[in-house]
Amino acid sequence: MSRSTIDETILVLNAGSSSVKFSLFAESSASAPELVLHGRVEGLYASPKFAAKDASGARIGGKDWGEGATLDHDGAVGFLLDWLQQQLGASHKVKAVGHRVVHGGTEFSAPARIDTRVVARLEKLVPLAPLHQPHNLALIKILLARSPELPQVACFDTAFHRSQPDVAQSFALPAEYAESGVRRYGFHGLSYEYIAAVLPQFDPRAAAGRTVALHLGNGASMCAIRAGRSVATTMGFTPLDGLPMGTRCGAIDPGVLLYLINERGMDARAMENLLYHQSGLLGVSGLSSDMRTLEASNEPRAKAAIDLFVYRIGRELGSLAAALGGLDAIVFTAGIGENSVLIRERVCRDAAWLGVDLDAEANRAGGPCIGRAGSRVSAWVIPTNEELMIARHTRATLRTSASRPILDPRSHGCNE
């Protein structure tokens, strides 16, 4: 599709503390949203840079503001909207914006059309995700102020997991804590929802049955999916729980935290820095959070970090298979899951007891099917596409909300 012939698009935004990632999808009523271009503005408030690529990965734009330039989120959005207009011509219109929003709490179990009431409800969830939610909300509010007529849709990383039984969402704490929101929410939901949506094309038996999806990136988690719905996941109240990650610790005995407070005198800020930024693959290896670097290293501590990562995946796989009452398929996705032959091979070999029978050749070739024909549990490599999931949700939410008054709570996709 030539960019100059595209009239209407859906802009997908993913805001972090110092970056805004974007993807633009062509919108036509006839076909599925189609990627036109994508990129990021990063280094906000310090050393801002912009880079964009077309759908084939060819570079189509770049800018470096230089060290010390103070581009903020508002400036980044303004720059991006102007750049898009230049790229796509005067007749082009961004029809709607879809946002990745980390936390939907218990009330948002589906995407929500944004208005000031929804923003107020999302603000209340900031204490549950203080490192991410404020940046997601900042972008939403900037666009509400700049273009109040532009439809915006919030798509939540937690929403897919709201189908889990209560028992899977509970901590064994006094009830008052659960009532005030201390419960397992789960994350990476847009990725798992995408995998669940495409799995029928690969493996209809597993799609109707029991699958564990492994989203292994810098952030890493696993999800038990039965007939397309989440029934359990490794991340909990925050994206710290479960697997060791690039720099996050994963599951940890809460007694360790008490020890760090009582014996090491650590305060909340020091603990946050340790658990979110100094642990995981980086902490164990002392070398890097990047799996490629660890795989290429001969350092014993790099090997120890990989061993722990694989071991924890194996333990969680057994646990999630128990939650499912059996297993029909495993699916690898995200940076490590899609690209690391070694990690997939080791995870599959350790899962032989569950019925996974790896086809080593197919694994080296990158799949999609990496299990032998006749394997009791099939094994797949399926690239995730959270941005496309957001574009689809944005389009569907607009269509639904167009037929309802905007203040109807049902149009926000929440459970009230």
Residue-wise burial string across 257-293, b where 16 or more C-beta atoms lie within 10 A, e elsewhere: eeebeeeeebeeeeeeebbbeebbbbbbbeebbbbee
Q: Are 252 and 238 in contact (CB under 8 A)?
A: no
Tell me which residue has its CB nearest to ligand ADP.
335
Phi, psi (deg, nearest 5) at residue 105: 55, -155
Taking the complex as a whole, the smallest distance from the CB of residue 40 to ligand ADP amounts, in Å, to 12
Of 161 and 188, CB closest to ligand ADP: 188
What distance in Å separates the CA atoms of residue 280 and residue 242, rounded to the nearest whole number?
11
The dihedral of CA 175, 176, 179, 182: what is its sign?
negative
Of 214 and 336, CB closest to ligand ADP: 336
The dihedral of CA 97, 101, 107, 109: what is its sign?
positive
Of 252 and 341, CB closest to ligand ADP: 341
Taking the complex as a whole, the smallest distance from the CB of residue 96 to ligand ADP amounts, in Å, to 24
Of 93 and 349, CB closest to ligand ADP: 349
What does the binding site for ligand ADP look like in residue numbers (CB under 6 A)? 217-219, 246, 290-292, 295, 334-336, 339-340
Residues taking part in catalysis = 157
Determine the number of helices (DSSP H) and then strands (DSSP E) in the chain: 15, 13
Structural element, H or E, at residue 386: helix 386-402
Residues 6+ apart with CB under 8 A from 13: 20, 21, 22, 97, 98, 99, 100, 139
Q: Coil, strand, or helix at residue 257?
A: helix
Taking the complex as a whole, the smallest distance from the CB of residue 400 to ligand ADP amounts, in Å, to 29
What distance in Å separates the CA atoms of residue 187 and residue 9, rounded to the nearest whole number?
27
Of 266 and 304, CB closest to ligand ADP: 304
Of 94 and 245, CB closest to ligand ADP: 245
Instruction: Tell me the CA distances in angstroms from 5 to 9, 94, 265, 343, 391, one per residue in order.
Output: 11, 14, 62, 43, 19
Structure tokens at 321: 């298979």
Q: Are 105 and 183 in contact (CB under 8 A)?
A: no
Taking the complex as a whole, the smallest distance from the CB of residue 287 to ligand ADP amounts, in Å, to 12
Q: Coil, strand, or helix at residue 230?
A: strand
Taking the complex as a whole, the smallest distance from the CB of residue 145 to ligand ADP amounts, in Å, to 29
Taking the complex as a whole, the smallest distance from the CB of residue 402 to ligand ADP amounts, in Å, to 33
Short-list 84, 74, 81, 94, CA closest to 26: 94
Residue-wise burial string across 131-168, b where 16 or more C-beta atoms lie within 10 A, e elsewhere: ebbebbbbbbbbbeeeeeebbbbbbbbbbbbbebeeeb
Of 21 and 93, CB closest to ligand ADP: 21
Residues 44/157/184/122 CA torsion (nearest 10 deg): 70
What distance in Å separates the CA atoms of residue 157 and residue 257, rounded to the nearest whole number?
26
The dihedral of CA 338, 343, 349, 355: what is its sign?
negative
Of 339 and 411, CB closest to ligand ADP: 339
Taking the complex as a whole, the smallest distance from the CB of residue 398 to ligand ADP amounts, in Å, to 27
Taking the complex as a whole, the smallest distance from the CB of residue 336 to ligand ADP amounts, in Å, to 4
